[in-house]
Structure 1
């Protein structure tokens, strides 16, 4: 670490930060699926007995440089345990990536052993609430992320990546993420609304990630290499969840070779070699060049919501998060409240392909005196003008609450 710190790095993103200590004896994981060769073992290889001892040693060095740390913290659903890693008093890590949100909809024994969209919106809301609640009344800090190199594209996972809905869906998710407290992490391609590679135009042979290859190998061993039904189900799961989608070369220019991944070489007249992964079949439609100067693009919307986030720091970066109507399976509604002056904002998001009627929350739901009227002042809309109590498909809105 000192080698890099002496050269001026600001900190480290620490991979699998809770996997460096294992229980003595190296016990086997309990058998939860007798048909599987390998069993889920996160409870054994994560959060081992000497983890905090090791992190104390790491922090002793980092503190001398004022360096920051953000670590991956999988298989840690207990918030009290998370706090041991990120509370200021503990002096271990500055923040962690909790996996509660990105694990929604994954299979139980094997993460890909599931069908697409195998989750409910209340489950998604509850996962977000857990990561947001981490900072309420504590000395801890949190992160906000939905994509990285290990996750499929959020437009495909959480909304609808068909041509009609993928832009509204991307803007909906941008508004959601920009309104959550913590340090924002936006993955390359997320800012242009990248989607998973379509099954019809990106064959299984193009999937190169080790997790994908091992999963297909497991399916062949279990059901036979000629069982097209099971292999097709596995392909469906990979098309929805595989890490490959985040690792396809970034689409810079839809008119350039391989989506512009080597555009400078191409412009210089040099031979351009194909990247290690095949280009995205939709690079001609979803790319940076086509969005840079388009005020209605996903990229332009991300720029607007990030500016808006900076204008309402107390509410959107540091505010407390409260989910409203958790059991609503179509709409996601939550309140942000400033920890300094009690100012409130309301976020309402339609996670369906249908136009939805919605009833604004009552004063009681908003934590206001019941004898006071409530005024909602529009701040940011993903669609057109505010149509009162009607939300278009995948439309999201942010209001300031006056009351």
Structure 2
């Protein structure tokens, strides 16, 4: 087993771009590849090492690109393969790497594989997807999709149901078919041969389905039962990922991260083991699932803020139990999660900057590879849209219909508060570059409304202010590059700190260095005393001075000794 300081991606920082919302270059209201090219210097200035692009493939856009109709073509909204090659080449010239989003649990129903598959049982592509006969005139199981409603769709053309864990137009691929698997590996190698540096793998731990259920056994429970416990971390998933590694990763120097909903720490130890037989790292969901609704019927939809005790317990558990065994991804937000400063910090103008820096400090000194989602580095907030018509996210629209319009389980006003807090569109509003029309994203009406606070919160203002969130994140990245202890140091919570309701204190230690991280997770003025050596020095803080035992609202500081 290699040591944790021997892989280049463990010292790297990833910047995630949602291409549709990053920068529009041709004034059609949609971000594109040439827009990204025009902003590469900005990402280099921040200090990130890897750019993760959300899907840019040809797609009907039922789920904003996560329904791929052609894995080897660029969606015209984003540009062309030539544009992509230019982006790749210019990123490499700047020392930046490009990580593609790989979506192979499912495809679009407009993919040529599925168009062939639905022609009938004798078609050579039939087994590229999961087809089952009706059971007593109904769907094979009562599984519910992640996007509400049933997970099975009857196909009149072929007389069977096909499985779709997400939208109806996103049929699940059949990973039990070796021909399908090798078709996927061929696609991955094709992109790697072009120079792509890695893959983020969408819901990759759902690819191994429990055959006894899809063969027709009905599940007990409510209609449209929660499917995740039945499909996540399936019995063949590690076999499939090891095979993928042998056919793709062994041939290229790639960075890989798997999105793994429902994965436990024990699961992650296999997916992201340091022997590198499967993936480099995983996205786990425990810490971003803590603020879900107490009513199971409501799932994640609530507006409750997570407590420090909850977040500390979750993050510390993953840090401690993966240490020396596997590698974690460090993230607060992404294209599927609301804005970090609104969710875990405080987006009131009085506290927004301080709490954004506090959150950055808490996460970036942990062990793992940090991910910065576009706009996080300037403290962008939730959109706080007031009308359902302002939202475009399929999940958001479906849940309103399920819980309010059809189910009558909740009143519209309360549901809109929940949506304003949790909707994925909070992360997808256009990047706020300056205070000009549409935040400098486009001169055309953007595909999704711009957050109304863009005249104040934007890149131009951040770059003009030496005390901005941007420069703080830039320093966090620089410290990670310079201090090996951040990568290879052992994590530990200060003894007794697990009882503190407001302050999180943890350490990172290797043979040479100790870091002592103090996080005030509240808007309170507090007194705390910690015994530290005289030789200590502050290497970063979100306040200009150190008042020792006094902790101001959302204060974060890191001592080195």
Q: Secondary structure at the match of 2:204?
A: coil
State the alpha-carbon separation in 2 of the partners of residues 10 and 43 from structure 1. Answer: 32
**Is 1:258 aligned to 2:435, yes or no?**
no
Tell me, yes or no, if structure 1 residue 204 matches structure 2 residue 204: no
Unaligned runs of 5+ in 1: 263-271, 364-372
SS at match of 1:18: helix
On the 8 A contact 2:384/2:421 being kept in 1, the answer is no
Separation in 2 of the partners of 1:232 and 1:286? 28
Specify the alignment match of 2:88 in structure 1: none
CA contact (8 A) 2:388 2:397 kept: no
Q: How many residues align?
A: 366
Q: Shift in Å at residue 374 of structure 1?
A: 6.3
TM-score, scaled relative to structure 1: 0.86
Which residue is equivalent to 2:135?
none
Deviations 1:173-195 (A, max 9, x none): 11112211111111100000011
How big is each residue's C-alpha offset from its partner over 1:147-185, in whole Å with a ceiling of 9 and x where there is no partner?
Answer: 110110110111110110101111111111221111111
* CA shift in 2, pair 1:315/1:28, >3 Å: farther
Q: Deviations over 1:210-267 (max 9, x none)?
A: 111111111224554xx9x72111111111121111101111112x2211112xxxxx
User: Is residue 111 of structure 1 aligned with residue 299 of structure 2?
Assistant: yes
TM-score scaled by length of structure 2: 0.62
Secondary structure of 2:538's aligned partner:
strand
Q: 1:283 aligns with which of 449, 454, 477?
A: 454
Superposed counterparts of 1:116-155, under 5 Å:
116-117=304-305, 119-138=306-325, 140-155=326-341
Give the 3 Å change call, closer, same or farther, for CA 381–90 of structure 1 in structure 2: closer
Give a deviation string over 1:275-320, Cα, whole Å, max 9, x none.
11111111111111111121011111111222122222x2212222
1:55-80, CA deviations, whole angstroms, 9 ceiling, x for partnerless residues? 12211122111222111011012x22
Instruction: Give the 4+ runs in structure 1 shifted more than 6 A.
Output: none
Match of 1:4 among 191, 195, 198: 191
Following superposition of structure 1 onto structure 2, how do residues 28-107 of structure 1 map, counting pairs within 5 Å?
A: 31=221, 37-61=223-247, 62-77=249-264, 79-89=265-275, 91-107=277-293
Question: Alignment partner of 1:129: what SS?
Answer: helix
| Residue number in structure 2 paired with 1:292 | 463
Distance 1:144 1:51 in 2: 23
- Give the gaps of 5 or more residues in structure 2: 1-187
Measured at CA, do residues 116 and 343 of structure 1 come closer, stay the same or move farther in structure 2, by a change above 3 Å? same
- Indicate the residue corresponding to 2:550 in structure 1: 390
Counterpart Cα distance in 2 of 1:164 and 1:74: 35
Residues 347 and 396 of structure 1 are in contact (CA less than 8 Å); yes or no, is this contact kept in structure 2?
yes
CA change 1:38–1:166 in 2 (3 A) is: farther
Instruction: Give the 3-state SS of the residue equivalent to 1:380 in structure 2.
Output: strand
Query: 1:388 deviation in Å?
Result: 1.1
Given that 1:134 and 1:142 are in contact with CA atoms closer than 8 Å, whether structure 2 keeps it comes out as: no
